[in-house]
Amino acid sequence: MYDIAANRFSAAGGACFPAPFRRLRLRLWNEADRSDFRRLNSDPRVMRFFPAPLSARASDALLERFMLHQKEEGFGVWPAEVLDEEGSRENRPRFAGFAGLLRVRFAAPFPAYSTHPPVEIGWRFLPEFWGRGLACEAARASLAFGFHELGLEEIVSFTAVANTPSRRLMIRLGMTHDSGDDFDHPSLPDAHPLQRHVLYRLAREDAETWL
């Protein structure tokens, strides 16, 4: 729920992240995740639609921001681990990437259709886990957490216009796009090829049919 006076969110029952589900689990970050997080953010395939792959220092700074967001807001983006699959030789969960929710920190240049500040959903997975529906599974769990535990009225997602794979997943999640909401991302300079962003939305009532 969102407390206007305190300007912060809180989850029903004190939950910090979604419960484990079929093939994945989401959990809190810890210091042992730094090397895997660096590997994720330094891969040029993963960072194709970002300005550049991240250095180890920049990746560590991003991880610190994610951990602080969880502490301050009671939710965030969480590391995604693939659970043992039948017939697999792996005997422990494997780091696959991350998925979850973030409060939009910049002055949103798009209208909000909720009584709370805008919250976005995002994901980032290592290439060896692409094409298996894992990002969709993690995103659905994150949406369910946002609508059920946090009581969010709407969740948004945005990306560079050219990011067709992420846009395809947004549509698969039931999110809708209105070109009138598209915007130039304020953290990118004018004329940057990734500056123009598309915005997708999902209202709680539109998600209730599958949550």
pLDDT tier for residue 20 given thresholds of 50, 70 and 90: confident
**Using CA atoms, how far apart are residues 167 and 34, in angstroms rounded to an integer?**
28
Position with higher pLDDT, 105 vs 171: 171
pLDDT at 186 over 50: yes
Cα angle for residues 86, 91, 94 (degrees, 5° grid):
90
Average pLDDT on 132-144 reads 95
pLDDT tier for residue 4 given thresholds of 50, 70 and 90: low
Q: How many CB atoms lie within 10 A of CB 205?
A: 10
Distance of CA 17 to the CA centre of its chain: 12
Q: List C-alpha distances in Å: 54 to 22, 43, 76.
A: 31, 8, 20
pLDDT at 87: 44
**Residue 17, token pair as written in the block:** 């992240």
pLDDT tier for residue 29 given thresholds of 50, 70 and 90: very high
Low-confidence winner among 90-104, 115-129, 169-183 (lowest mean pLDDT):
90-104
Topology (CATH level 3) of domain 22-83+92-207: Aminopeptidase (3.40.630)
Type of residue found at 115: T
pLDDT at 211: 67
Q: What is the pLDDT of residues 41-79, one digit of tens each?
A: 999 999 999 999 999 999 999 999 999 999 999 999 999
Position with higher pLDDT, 190 vs 88: 190
pLDDT tier for residue 144 given thresholds of 50, 70 and 90: very high
Are 200 and 170 a contacting pair, CB within 8 Å?
Answer: yes
